[in-house]
A = this chain, B = another copy of it.
């Protein structure tokens, strides 16, 4: 049995090991991929820190990671659409294909959803095995770092494009990696004015690079007042919530125009988030969209087009590059919030 290096959560508690594991076997419907790039998601950090939900959810040991790109090195007997040598990425939502949600084309909220790197061994490794049904063939012109970031980019695409933003004034709360990607998507989609907020000025600077027209630090500026002045009291036409912060959400809803639309991707530490439903949702006639995952695969067509056409440049978002063995540096930077997206590279 061949061996490979991988980042493995071996036991409860903070941390993970860089250790060797067997290269996965390939069933009839699976594809074996040599990972060439993998990026760190906020949820990886939660697992690394072994936050409270981990115990009940995760079966150890588990190879971590799900954002990735790589090259197909072996395909199962029943695999039809992918061949050895293909340059691919992974849709990380492993869907059942037969539940109510799947049969309505909503595979991203499959009733039996499994997630790569949590419920099945993941991508922080030299090799990964994936069911053909979640393999996406990359456009060869897209660099491997960008290809790995397509998965969270897909989240940004779905959050921004729940409605047309062209010629609109919008607010993006939270400029972590996905918030920054959302700024880029909104810019590419023709939003006329993009307010971006964060309490971290370095991230706000990145937001400017991604196309924000106005950056606001809520610790220094009254966000709602600034927006109301700018819009002559009308408010923004769309709120894109990327912070998972209840205050940011509350301010965002306050700044939203009556009849406007709020799109929520950020996850909250609080189990119960207080909302002034009467004033900010019901009486203002607001539509609020919860977004999770990507539409399979219509969203991937969009990420491909945005990247291969040159409409979207991910370089400002990718702030750090490490060897896979240095994954701990990445985890620390992510926990501190002093970074954009971090890409890891397994040994060749």
Contact = CB atoms under 8 A, between A and B. Distances in A.
Interface stretch (A65-73, A200-208, A263-271, A327-335): A263-271
A193 B285 contact: no
Contacts of A166: 161, 166, 185, 188-190, 302, 306
Contacts of A80: 98
Interface string A133-161: 00000000000000000000000010001
Interface residues of A, number: 73
B188 A309 contact: no
Interface string A270-286: 01111111100111111
A288 interface: yes
Nearest to A273: B277
A233 interface: yes
A237 to B, nearest CB: 9
Contacts of A230: none
A60 interface: no
A285 B113 CA distance: 13
A258 interface: yes
A325 interface: no
B290 A281 contact: yes
Given A264-B282, A282-B265, A285-B290, A305 B169 contact: yes
A259 B106 contact: yes
14 contacts: A81-B98, A100-B234, A104-B297, A109-B283, A167-B309, A192-B306, A264-B282, A267-B282, A271-B278, A273-B277, A275-B277, A282-B290, A282-B291, A287-B290
